[in-house]
């Protein structure tokens, strides 16, 4: 199994920060991606960061890189932090969620369920689409245009004070990394490696 880790936006992507500027999505996702890569390798799972650059890599290029790995024994997670508003202020919405694309395979949905279960085990409050369908469906190029199972995670809200504080804490970072590693290894076990 090789795990492709996408860390979304680049340094120059506008917005995408907490109102106090402490959390920038591109930097946070890269920190998590680096930690997740190390954690997976430590667990004996091959992992690759798709976008090691600090700059924004266009989605077409990210999908092209991912598709070079084919479809078998490969999966992709794209790491993001959610925002409730675009007005630069704090908001009340909070919680963790997983997304698949409209054309998602059963495998992508299974991976999403594994990640959601792991998020709950790590004590995160999960935003569910519906009780029986806990993941959300959206037209996301990184999931839609990649051929392997792919899930995008929105790791809490950067414009919620409590979420931002927790995300920036060492405890929070370790939990976000661990839930991805646990969800992925759970999925890999079901998929037979
Ligand atoms: Zn994002």
Domain count, the chain: 1
Distance from the alpha carbon of residue 81 to the mean position of ligand 1, in angstroms = 6
pLDDT digits 0-9 by tens, 73-112: 999 999 999 999 989 999 999 999 999 999 999 999 999 9
Distance from the alpha carbon of residue 118 to the mean position of ligand 1, in angstroms = 21
Distance from the alpha carbon of residue 192 to the mean position of ligand 1, in angstroms = 31
Distance from the alpha carbon of residue 26 to the mean position of ligand 1, in angstroms = 8
Distance from the alpha carbon of residue 101 to the mean position of ligand 1, in angstroms = 15
Distance from the alpha carbon of residue 169 to the mean position of ligand 1, in angstroms = 20
Distance from the alpha carbon of residue 67 to the mean position of ligand 1, in angstroms = 21
Q: Is 30 exposed, middle or buried (0-12, 13-18, 19+ CB in 10 A)?
A: buried
The reported pLDDT for the residue numbered 192 is 65
The reported pLDDT for the residue numbered 144 is 97
Residue 176 predicted with pLDDT over 80: yes
Q: What's the Cα-to-Cα distance from 6 to each of 3, 47, 103, 143, rounded to whole Å?
A: 10, 11, 19, 11
Residue 3 confidence class, pLDDT cut points 50, 70, 90: very high
Domain harbouring 22, CATH code = 3.40.630.40
Residue 59 predicted with pLDDT over 60: yes
Residue 50 predicted with pLDDT over 60: yes
Enclosing domain of residue 184:
2-190
Residue 193 predicted with pLDDT over 60: no
Residue ranges near ligand 1 (ion) with Cβ within 5 Å: 8, 80
């Amino acid at each position: 199994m090789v795990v492709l880790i996408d860390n979304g936006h680049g340094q120059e992507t506008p917005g995408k920060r907490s109102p106090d500027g402490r959390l920038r999505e591109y930097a946070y996702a890269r920190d998590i991606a680096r930690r997740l890569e190390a954690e997976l390798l430590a667990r004996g799972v091959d992992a690759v960061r798709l976008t090691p650059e600090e700059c924004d890599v266009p989605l077409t290029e990210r999908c092209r890189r991912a598709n070079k790995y084919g479809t078998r024994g490969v999966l992709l997670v794209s790491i993001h932090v959610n925002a409730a508003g675009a007005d630069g202020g704090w908001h009340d919405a909070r919680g963790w969620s997983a997304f698949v694309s409209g054309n998602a395979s059963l495998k992508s949905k299974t991976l999403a369920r594994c990640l959601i279960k792991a998020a709950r085990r790590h004590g995160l409050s999960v935003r569910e689409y519906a009780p029986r369908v806990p993941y959300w469906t959206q037209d996301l190029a990184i999931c839609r245009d990649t051929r392997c199972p792919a899930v995008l995670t929105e790791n809490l809200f950067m414009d919620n004070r409590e979420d931002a504080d927790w995300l920036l804490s060492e405890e929070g970072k370790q939990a976000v990394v661990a839930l991805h590693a646990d969800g992925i290894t759970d999925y890999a076990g079901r998929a037979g490696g």
